[in-house]
Amino acid sequence: MRLLVVGGAGYIGSHMVKMLANVGHEVIVLDNLTTGFRESVKYGRLIVGDLADMHLLENLFAEHQFDGVMHFAANSLVGESITNPAKYYRNNVANTLNLLDVMVRNDVKHFIFSSTAATFGEPEYTPIDEAHPQKPINPYGASKLMIERILQDYAQAYGLNSVCLRYFNACGADPEGELGENHDPETHLIPLILQAASGRRKSITVFGRDYATDDGTCIRDYIHINDLCSAHSLALDFLMAKNEKGALAFNLGNGQGFSVQQVIDVVEKVIAEDGFSLTVESGERRMGDPAVLVADAAKAKRMLGWKPVFDDLETIVRHAWRWEKA
């Protein structure tokens, strides 16, 4: 198939492009490189551009007969979305509408959307399944939920069929060491801990040790980047092979949680083998941090045939540590 991957120079997108190319798909990457990296597009053809550029989009779809589109391009910093919501609604919503409208005009019927667990807001129960109420508590989550709802309407009105994949905590790195996580600023726990281990930052702070968990620290669901990408590939196959109609959504996670302290313990074990150590500090709780966030991914396993391969924490950390050292 010929596929367009929007945001294919970013962390998740670049891993996705590699996976698609390795199974024989022709991949075109569209990325404005504001957070992505040209050197991360090791597979496929990179077109530098923005979804706000309708002329570019029209020409792109006129030049290529795409079989499907995967969309990873979005602003994703929760704190920034609160202080600058206009940026998030303009990029995550308005620009995505540009893409969807061009798809409709060019009769491209298959769309895979990178959504988020932030659409759920504060958890009412855990593990969180697809029936959990969606009540986002920040503009980032709200912007993603808007697209989920738009996709339902576009399926009914225009026959644009889609799958939304709601991630919990994407982590890890390419097992072959070619690609990894490189955000600025970095906000994800595992790379932050590893940066403290490698000396790129002074220490790692644990925000709150008095939660109602076994060790008092927050529990989160960490999903390896390759497992995340395999779910996208299976979702696309599902739309194509079954000629699936409508707008579907799946939660993606390990289905098991690891506490902040457990992550630190595993990191300390892995880095000690290379003679590194870690400075850990304790801080106060951060507002809005739930004690436990874990996904129920049974629907994706049942309908897509998805099964995480790298579901143990030590493997996830080892892959990420190899990338951090490099």
* E strand intervals along 127-213: 161-167, 169-171, 204-207
Report d(CA 294, CA 219) in Å as an integer.
Answer: 8
DSSP character string of 95-114 = HHHHHHHHHHHTT--EEEEE
Helix 313-325 to helix 189-198 angle (10° resolution) is 50
Backbone angles phi, psi at 214, to 5 degrees: -60, -40
Compute the half-sphere exposure of residue 129: CA atoms within 13 Å on the CB side of its CA. 5
Residue 82 CB neighbour total at 10 angstroms: 14
Catalytic residue among 11, 43, 140, 167: 140
Ramachandran bin of 159, using left for φ above 0, alpha for ψ from -120 to 50, beta for the remaining angles: left
Active-site residue, 125 included:
no
Bridge partner residues of 23 (DSSP) = none
| CB contact at 8 A, 34 and 13 | no
| Residues carrying an active site annotation | 140
